[in-house]
Amino acid sequence: MSTRTEIAVFVTRSNGSEVLVVHRSPVQGAYWHVVAGGIEAGEDAATAARRELLEETGLVAPVSEGPQVVERVFKLTKEPAEWRPSHSPSIAEVTVWCFRCDAPEGWCPMLDWEHDDYRWCTPNEAAATLRWPETARALRKMLGSEDGL
C-alpha cells in the first residue's frame, strides 16, 4: 500500500478574518471545502497549490511556504466507501499539504466546473462549514489557533 499526496489552499482576506469556502458541484459530491487537488507529475506541492488556485478560482497569488505549511494525513479506510474509488486501490492513506493564500480585498473567485457556489466566512464559520474535521483542524493550525478559533 502507498500514500497519495494532495494539496489544500486556505484563501483568506482582511488579515485572515475571512476564509473562502467553495461548494463542490453535485458531480464532485456536493459539500463545502477549500481549494484542493492532486499533485501532477513534475510538480512540487507549492506549484500544485498555485495551479489549483488558478484553475479553481482564477486567482494568481503566492502561497505560504516553509513553516507556515501544515501537513495532515488521513487513512482511506476511514473514508466513506463511495469516496474510495476516486483513489487507486493501492492507496492506503493521503497526505495533504495545506497552504495559505491572501486574496486582495474585493476579489471574488471565478469558479470552475468543480464548484457551484462560494462564500466568505469568519474562521469559526469556515471551520464549522467544512466537511472534514481534519480540514477544520488544519485551518485552525494555519491561522494560529489550534485550540479553537
pLDDT digits (tens, 9 = 90+) for 17-30: 999 999 999 988 89
Cα–Cα distance between 60 and 51 in angstroms, integer? 9
Parse the chain into domains and list their residue ranges. Answer: 2-142
Q: What pLDDT shows up at residue 24?
A: 93
The model's confidence at residue 85, banded by pLDDT at 50, 70 and 90, is very low
Least confident range from 49-53, 70-74, 139-143: namely 70-74
Whether the predicted pLDDT of 126 surpasses 70: yes
**pLDDT attached to residue 79:** 54
Q: What pLDDT score does 143 carry?
A: 84
* Percent of the chain whose pLDDT exceeds 70: 78
- Taken as a whole, the chain contains a residue count of 149
Question: What's the CA gap between 123 and 60, in Å, rounded?
Answer: 22
Sign of CA pseudo-dihedral 49, 20, 136, 26: negative
Q: Is the pLDDT of residue 67 over 80?
A: no
- Topology annotation, domain 2-142: Nucleoside Triphosphate Pyrophosphohydrolase (3.90.79)
Higher pLDDT, 148 or 48: 48
